[in-house]
């Protein structure tokens, strides 16, 4: 028979806490696929890859649904089995993100994060019949990695948890944070020829590429904060 699942929901009343306005960001976070998160403190967080880990079973369940006659009881059972697997993947991802975002919110009151447009980044590259896309298979794999990483859910959880503690998340533009040298300011695609290493072709500065990007994000967060402080001083 079908296994029922029970969920408990608790409703509590808490005092509303205004996000901190007088504090600059203390941590920058760069989100990625190969490395889920790199911080300006030098920490690297490996991705959970909840969907990737279940790919073999997921494909088997999908084939099972496809082989069953539409409207049959066996197909209904296969659909339920597939839905349960998707639910398990979602719960694993959500639980992992909750633990990570709680730890970050407890340690850092103000965090700078990229304002990523995930919907645009994960758009299909298939194109049209008249103008087919390029590298469709590779782009599809990247899209799965982006969606599996669940950057939007990470941002959502981190934002409300930091605010609950009286802090805030500052969103910054992600453009060129991965290819601009944080020491001399030189910006070039040549600065990041590999995924792992940043090497400035102008001044020679070399650093872990993701950590370097996180430090640029932190600096961008400081710039946003300084503009806000200036506006408040004038007001």
Task: Point out the residues that are catalytic.
Answer: 30, 114, 210
Within 39-135, residue ranges assigned H as helices are: 50-53, 55-67, 73-107, 118-121
Report in angstroms the alpha-carbon separations of 157 from 97, 128, 152, 161: 8, 36, 9, 6
In 3D space, the residue among 149, 141, 107 whose CA is nearest the CA of residue 124 turns out to be 141
The Cα–Cα gap between 9 and 168 comes to 26
Q: How far is CA 178 from the centre of its chain?
A: 16
What lies within 8 Å, CB to CB, of 38 at 6+ separation is 29, 30, 32, 44, 45, 208, 210, 211, 213, 214
Contact of 31 with 23, CB cutoff 8 Å: no
Of 72, 17, 10, 48, the residue nearest 149 (C-alpha)? 48
Residue 78: left if φ>0, alpha if ψ -120 to 50, beta else—which one?
A: alpha
Structure tokens at 97: 């993100």
């Amino acid at each position: 028979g079908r296994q029922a699942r029970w969920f408990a929901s608790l409703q509590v009343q808490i005092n509303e806490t205004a996000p901190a306005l007088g504090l600059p960001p203390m941590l920058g976070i760069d989100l990625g696929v190969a490395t889920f998160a790199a911080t300006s403190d030098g920490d690297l967080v490996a991705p959970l890859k909840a969907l990737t880990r279940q790919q073999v079973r997921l494909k088997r369940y999908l084939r099972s649904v496809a082989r069953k006659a539409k409207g049959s009881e066996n197909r209904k059972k296969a659909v339920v089995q597939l839905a349960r697997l998707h639910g398990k993947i979602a719960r694993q991802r959500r639980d992992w993100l909750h633990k990570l975002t709680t730890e970050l919110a407890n340690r850092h009151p103000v965090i700078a994060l990229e304002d990523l447009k995930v919907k645009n980044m994960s758009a299909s590259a298939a194109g049209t019949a008249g103008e087919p896309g390029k590298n469709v298979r590779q782009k599809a794999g990247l899209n799965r990695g982006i969606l599996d990483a669940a950057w939007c859910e990470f941002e959502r959880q981190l934002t409300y948890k930091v605010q609950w503690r009286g802090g805030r998340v500052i969103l910054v533009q992600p453009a060129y944070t991965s290819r601009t040298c944080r020491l001399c300011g030189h910006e070039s695609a040549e600065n990041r020829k590999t995924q792992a290493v940043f090497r400035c072709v102008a001044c020679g500065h070399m650093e872990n590429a993701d950590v370097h990007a996180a430090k640029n994000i932190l600096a961008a967060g400081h710039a946003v904060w300084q503009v806000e402080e200036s506006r408040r001083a004038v007001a």
